[in-house]
Structure 1
Amino acid sequence: MQRWERIEAFVEVVRLGNFSAAARQLQVSSSHISRLVSQLEQQLGTQLLYRTTRQIRLTDSGALYYESCRQLFEGFKDAELALDHHQTNPTGLLKITAATTFGERYIAPLVNEFHTLYPQLKISMHLTNRQLELIEEGYDIAIRMGVLKESTLVARRLCDRREFVVGSPDYFAHHPQPRKLAELEQHNCLIGSRDHWLFLDKGARKDLVVTGNWHANSGPALVDAALRGIGLAQLPDYYVTEYLASGQLIPVLDEYQFIDTGVWVLYPQQRYLAAKVRLFIDFLVEKFAAGIPWEQ
């Protein structure tokens, strides 16, 4: 640190032409600047400046040393400007991951809209129902739904998310509507990506293992099976809102809906977010705040 302070004092003296101006620039006394330059000369074992009462003049060694130090300082300033530009203007590659169907329907259009605002960005979007490891696999942002697991990632809630147990009118024409969770044992429960359904029972979370003769790791396939009266399904609101409104699906067990669930944007914890990440997160938050897409 002392050497750097001495070099900075020397560069400012030469650049501004005298010790007083350098002292004002660095907000210290002239005597302190003079002392720093003298210490630098002692450290280097050579005289850098000729001093008179009216002016200073570089020695040959001083001129050579100043030119190298000047380039060093300009390089640091360029680095700071580049960093500032990076923090205020989105550049580079933005890597995003989201669940397949949700990503196709609701995230991809927003990503494309964001890209029209910042066409200099490169976009890589990977849609998969497998939860990728953001840090290990080099992703900037993940869109996740439901109840989050504990992790070191930062999570920002985009909106609420509700899950409905639904069946078709045709199914309920042949089976009674369940009123209690225990009554699900009497029904054919359509199994999606997990073999348990999530409820709120007496104020506590309840993961209820369900059984049935149908299974697929596809939300649209699950919706289609429910519409055809094959059984009951537990599905998030963005899959079933339109069918509930039309009466093609009927909700049951609403009083057991688990409420602590949502749609989240996740990103690795960093002291300073890159502009591309910060701006995209703010963009998503603004869009979801204006209206949840599947409710519009």
Structure 2
Amino acid sequence: MSRAAVPSPPTPAPASTPASTPASTPTSASTPTERATPTERAVVGVHATARIRAARAGGTTVVPVLSGDGPFDLRRGRAHGDQARVCVLGTMTAPLGGDRLHIEATADHAAHLRITTAAATIALRGPTTAHATYDVHLRVAEHASLHWLPQPLISAARSNLRQSCTIDLAPTARLLLREEIVLGRSGEPPGRLSTRLSVRRDGRPVLEQQTGYGPGAPGWDGPAVLAGHRAVGQILIVDPALDRHPPRARLFGDNPATGQAVLTPLAGPALLITALAPDTMRLRRLLDAAHPIP
């Protein structure tokens, strides 16, 4: 479905109902030289939520809750052993400026869930300079596991996206997360991109990470951050088994110009693999070399 199929925003209400006027809608935190025009402020972005819940039933995992709207079309995949699989399909161009997108996924006690996306997510400017948000909240209960394996996020020129991923794990839960970001399409600079990853295990922080890329983010393209590369990715693993077999720090890739990855043990028990590369193909090769994911 194209975005043109989304209903047009209603005509603003009279001044007697200020709660529904465009002036009450938050606008972008743009710089003084990039203020939204009245026409842009009147544009209403897509607000959509997808909900997924996996539960244990009869020795396998079922998905009793699978609902999505807006750009989210959720499809059950063929189960792999006792692991349920869900794929998120995009039915319209998103996220654009002003969009508010949210995914909630829960793996109940002893359930095993894998979530993927069918294609890359492309952040675009859209008809307004207001930022878009894409928030993911994952919850994993005791003796459950969740694999979050989306396709890459592409930050297109002049886009403005704030992305967050919040994860709450029980003490015996297991997590496998892979994230890949491409800064700009071929031959273009990236847009503004802010990402935040917050992981808690038994209520205690495992990882708190926030990064910014593109215009307005200081030093993002310098030698201490991306060093001129345009693809960045990471794999996070949280698994109680790492207490018994803790990993050692390792470096993957001999040539910094073609990309490198590093494996870093974390308290948790957890490990983090971070990779930089000139493009998404080399980035995936580095991540697969550090930890192949079938």
Kindly indicate whether structure 1 or structure 2 has the higher relative contact order, using CA contacts under 8 Å at least 6 residues apart. Answer: 1
Q: Where is the strand percentage greater, Structure 1 or Structure 2?
A: 2
Q: TM-score, normalised by structure 1?
A: 0.22
Q: TM-score, normalised by structure 2?
A: 0.22
Q: Whose Rg is larger?
A: 1
